[in-house]
């Protein structure tokens, strides 16, 4: 009987606890996202992040077209990005 009760409580917690998390939006939601460069960033250009086009500025030199980038900061409507350590290109 005790095992059944524990399983029921664990199932209910598994279903309802994720709903208590607040969604991350705005600036906090952008930091850490990855995307690709649509043009060479010297240091400013366009990147695609989650299907959206953004103005971006490289914080660590020139980044070639097609390279993967990571959002480090947000400055107004411009993303400050750095080249990802992943060598995968698109």
Domains of the chain listed by start with CATH number: 26-83 (2.40.50.140)
pLDDT at 90: 53
- Residues 6 or more apart whose CB falls under 8 angstroms from that of 62 comprise 40, 41, 42, 43
Q: What's residue 87's pLDDT? A: 59
| H or E element in which residue 76 lies | none
Strand, coil or helix: what is 57?
strand
Rounded-to-integer distance, Cα 69 and Cα 80, Å:
10
What ranges in the chain are assigned the alpha helix state H? 2-16, 26-30
Q: At CA 64, angle to CA 58 and CA 68, rounded to 5? A: 75
Of the pLDDT bands very low, low, confident and very high (cuts 50, 70, 90), residue 9 is very high
Lowest mean pLDDT among 12-16, 58-62, 70-74: 12-16
Does 85 score more than 90 pLDDT? no
Percentage of the chain beyond pLDDT 70 is: 94
- Whether the link from the prior residue into 43 is cis, omega within 30° of 0, is yes
pLDDT at 67 (0 to 100): 95
Q: Which residues are within 8 A (CB) of 70 and not within 5 positions of it... i.e. 6 or more apart? A: 32, 33, 34, 81, 82, 83, 84
Say what the pLDDT of residue 27 is.
82
């Amino acid at each position: 009987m005790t095992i059944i009760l524990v399983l029921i409580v664990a199932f209910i917690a598994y279903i309802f606890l994720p709903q208590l998390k607040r969604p991350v939006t705005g600036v906090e939601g952008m930091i850490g996202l990855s995307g690709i460069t649509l043009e060479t960033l010297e240091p400013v250009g366009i990147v695609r992040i989650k299907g959206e086009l953004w103005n971006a500025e490289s914080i660590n030199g020139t980044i070639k077209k097609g390279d993967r980038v990571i959002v480090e900061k947000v400055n107004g409507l411009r993303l400050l990005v750095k080249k990802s350590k992943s060598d995968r290109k698109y």
